[in-house]
Amino acid sequence: MALAVVFIILFGTAALVPAVWSIIGLIGGNTKFWPCVAGTGFALILLIITLIGIFTNWGGCPVTCDKAGNCGSSEGSIQCFQKNAKGDWVKQCEPDVWKEECKQSVSCVPDPKKPQTSFPIAAGQHCPTGANWTTVYSFCEPIQTGGVKQPWATWSDLSFLASGLWLLWLFQYFGTWPSLLGNEGDNPMSSITVLSVVYCFIVIFMGPPSMWYHASMKSLGGWFDTMSVVAWLGFNASYVAYLFFAGVNGNGRDGWWQPGVVLGVWIGVSVLCGILAAVTSLPSLVYYFFTGGGWGIAELAYVIRAQRNSPDVKYRRNWRLTLTNVLVLAATMGVWIGFNDGIVKQHCSTGFPGHALFHILASVSTMLTYFSFSSEQHV
């Protein structure tokens, strides 16, 4: 719990500084602060929703289930493994985290068709106890009681709010830092445009939906968490793909053509993924590979084309920023894999806030991605 308090103080302060600074600046007459003030309002609304969920215990008890047995908890929040005679760990059941807390379920039933074969779960425990049993938690962080099920993962998400607000705060310097933010007018990410503001709002949005999932361990929170990541990856894929097909040679950078196409594709991809995630049981990895893979392919194609010494190449990004971003993203995904219960399973380490570290690194990656985009200049 102490580390969660550190996260709240550290990242809460980090988000509060640009928010207050921008409000004072806008009152003082600097109109370039308006995006950060708007982002502050957006972040505040999302945080209010989060706090309402926490203080109402996300619906509380009792838990009601539909005819199919779905009780609202995120699937796989808790997994109970038992070691068999061969020494192999076998998953026996996935107790509903909220039914356990509400004391509506006290047994582990490996096969619903054979309810007579069950293992008792002691009060205050999520799985049967003993040397032959182990409990695997979602993203390797133990689940607590109350409105915040995973404190480390929940409060580390404040880093996304801090990242998004600091990016918006930097908008006051557009036109004065060409070596870092490109040339104003040539690059939509180096001026106050629809695309630059939308990107920063997406970064802010990545925080609270992840908090809704880790704090509640409910399926609806999981849907929002997945879609917030899809929104960021999908935007990046749409933006870089446009640059590859049109932006590198300078076409389509004027007027509403570029933001219209990028936002149109992004919204279409996001809506499609959202509908599929709501009506199917496809794992979230499918949507991450679809949007993240699209971004990766578009990024590789853009870099190869932009580095060519060709007369049609008129824009190019800072390769150092791009390389740094790739390395940080690789490290970020390495941490995500290492503390992913769907990959390491019963070997999940619960003594280290690995998924919280992933959130922090990911928030840094969102900033580096923006700086990489905004570094594109006319050559």
Q: pLDDT 10s digit of each residue in the chain, 379 long?
A: 799 999 999 999 999 999 999 999 999 999 999 999 999 999 999 999 999 999 999 988 888 777 766 777 887 899 999 998 888 999 999 888 888 888 887 788 888 777 677 898 888 888 998 889 999 999 999 999 899 999 999 999 999 999 999 999 999 988 665 555 555 457 889 889 999 999 999 999 999 999 999 999 999 999 999 999 999 999 999 999 998 887 777 676 776 778 899 999 999 999 999 999 999 989 899 999 999 999 999 999 988 888 877 777 778 888 888 899 999 999 999 999 999 998 888 888 888 999 999 999 999 999 999 999 998 887 7
Distance set, CA 162 to CA 108, 237, 263 (Å): 41, 23, 24
Q: What letters, b where the CB count within 10 A reaches 16 and e where it falls short, cover 97-135?
A: bbbbbeeebeebbbeeeeeeebbebeeeebbbeeeebbb
* Radius of gyration of the chain measured on its C-alpha atoms: 23
pLDDT value of residue 120: 87
Dist CA 2 CA 172 (whole Å)? 36
Would you say 348 and 141 are in contact if contact means Cβ atoms under 8 Å apart? no
Dist CA 106 CA 99 (whole Å)? 9
3-state secondary structure of 175: coil
Nearest C-alpha neighbor of 196 from the set 167, 217, 153? 167
Residue 246 half-sphere exposure toward CB, CA atoms < 13 A: 13
Phi and psi based region of residue 16 (left: phi greater than 0; alpha: psi -120 to 50; beta: remaining): alpha
Residue 344 half-sphere exposure toward CB, CA atoms < 13 A: 20
pLDDT value of residue 185: 58
pLDDT value of residue 40: 98
pLDDT value of residue 114: 74
Would you say 250 and 242 are in contact if contact means Cβ atoms under 8 Å apart? no
DSSP 73: B
pLDDT value of residue 176: 61
Identity of the residue numbered 99: K
Would you say 348 and 136 are in contact if contact means Cβ atoms under 8 Å apart? yes
Q: Within its chain, how far is the Cα of 53 from the centroid? A: 19
pLDDT value of residue 263: 95
Dist CA 90 CA 87 (whole Å)? 9
User: Would you list the DSSP string of 198-257?
Assistant: HHHHHHHHTHHHHHHHHHH-BHHHHHHHHHHHHHHHHHHHHHHHHIIIIITTTTT-STTH
Would you say 291 and 226 are in contact if contact means Cβ atoms under 8 Å apart? no
Dist CA 13 CA 9 (whole Å)? 6
Nearest C-alpha neighbor of 236 from the set 292, 189, 193? 292
Ranges of each domain in the chain: 2-58+147-378, 78-140
pLDDT value of residue 175: 66
Distance set, CA 152 to CA 88, 130, 159, 210, 356 (Å): 30, 27, 12, 12, 6
DSSP 74: P
Dist CA 127 CA 284 (whole Å)? 25
Angle at 313 between CA 309 and CA 317, to 5 degrees: 95
Dist CA 22 CA 16 (whole Å)? 10
Dist CA 127 CA 141 (whole Å)? 15
